[in-house]
Structure 1
Amino acid sequence: MTGIHTLGKLTTVPALEHLHLVAEPVAALLRTWKHAGEVGVVEIDPEHADTAGTVDVYGVPWEAGANCVVIMGKREGEERVAACVVRGDTKADVNNRVKRLLDVRKCSFLAHERAVTETGMEYGGITPIGVPTDWRVLVDARVPATDLVLIGSGIRGSKIILPGRLLAELPGAEVIEDLAV
């Protein structure tokens, strides 16, 4: 495949040929990932990097957008962190489904500064592609079932578009039914 995809008003270029458009941890994974040739990247206005902006400005359907939220909890002093990927028309079921999957009493969003530091990505552009290998990557089952998905690139100035099925192929990815509501 070529890594050239169109979603709404956005048309990508092959990510492997434009690694300068993604955060370094994303580029590092793409350099070694067998599916990287199917991944596209497109520059966007950082002011419109959130899901609502991509819908309003770029005409990307809500269900084609994917959000990555970083959740953490503790059990018996052990911290458990997960990057949760859900479609843009849903929200991660943090207080029920994610909490049970992490097997913690309480979970919350990882602090912004810490998420940025640990991922090496910009807040608002964090993607499951290239997150720390000791984090769980939980993918709502609706995401891989989506033909094309728009997701962060690790920076706010670009987005990645790829076949949804590839998010289930990320290292360590776990596809979870009803991760989102």
Structure 2
Amino acid sequence: MLTDATRYGTLTWVPYRRRTDLLAAPVLACLEALDPDVSKYVYVTEIDPELADTAAMTEAYELPLEASSNCVLVAGRREGQERVAACVVRATTRTDVNTTVRKLLDVRKASFWPTERAVEASGMEYGGITPVGVPSDWRLLLDSRVRSGPSIVGSGVRRSKLLMPGEVLQALPGAEVVDGLARPTG
């Protein structure tokens, strides 16, 4: 990637340090804690918050769907303790909650967190939840499909998105690459 502004789709992306106003507090804190040789590959762009959902965003801004990576929060209980995972999968796939995530969390039943709970616990807005800056006591599970190539993820707020190579996702604190975390859609 370039070290200055770049075009991807119809959007202009800039190094995140140039527009920290477009990042939720936990996202900025995480990026600032990363090795600068890694974080220099993270770009941000402003979008219409009404277009924050993946399908609307990719269509409106002429972005490839396969470059978008969704972060969903999944939890289950074991011995009275809640176990939480932030799962990152390509937008062309679906998180395998009932088998893979359930086994990784070692719980009987795993479920997506309700929106209100996800927003409160992550410190991020709905439609902007991202693996960047999730709490350290959560597991951060990356489907093997996101470990390379560009990934468009949330910025913690609905009005912007982050663009980074999969290698940066792997460098996030606690990131675990999992084969079979997601299944293709359709």
Bin for the TM-score computed over the shorter chain: over 0.9
Name 1:25's counterpart in structure 2: 26
Task: Find out whether 1:128 has 2:128 as its counterpart.
Answer: no
Percent of aligned pairs with the same residue? 53
How far did residue 4 of structure 1 move?
4.0
C-alpha distance in 1 between matches for 2:40 and 2:5: 9
How far did residue 19 of structure 1 move?
0.9
C-alpha distance in 2 between matches for 1:67 and 1:44: 16
Q: CA RMSD in A?
A: 1.2
Gapped regions of structure 1 (runs ≥ 5): none
Q: Aligned residue pairs: how many? A: 180
CA deviation string 1:33-67 (max 9, x = no partner): 11221100000001111110122101111110000
Q: Is the 8 A contact 2:39 2:168 kept in 1?
A: no
Q: Is the 8 A contact 1:7 1:148 kept in 2?
A: no
Name 1:96's counterpart in structure 2: 99
Change over 3 Å in CA distance of 1:5–1:78 after alignment to 2: farther
Runs of 4+ in 1 over 2 A off after TM superposition: 3-7
Gapped regions of structure 2 (runs ≥ 5): none
Change over 3 Å in CA distance of 1:141–1:177 after alignment to 2: same
How far did residue 109 of structure 1 move?
0.8
C-alpha distance in 2 between matches for 1:13 and 1:180: 30
C-alpha distance in 1 between matches for 2:24 and 2:87: 19
CA deviation string 1:17-45 (max 9, x = no partner): 21110101001111121122110000000
Task: Find out whether 1:117 has 2:120 as its counterpart.
Answer: yes
Task: Find out whether 1:68 has 2:71 as its counterpart.
Answer: yes
Q: Is the 8 A contact 1:138 1:175 kept in 2?
A: yes
Q: Is the 8 A contact 1:3 1:162 kept in 2?
A: no
Matches within 5 A, 1:3-22: 4-22=5-23
TM-score computed with the length of structure 2 as normaliser: 0.93
C-alpha distance in 2 between matches for 1:108 and 1:26: 24
C-alpha distance in 1 between matches for 2:60 and 2:127: 17
C-alpha distance in 2 between matches for 1:55 and 1:19: 23
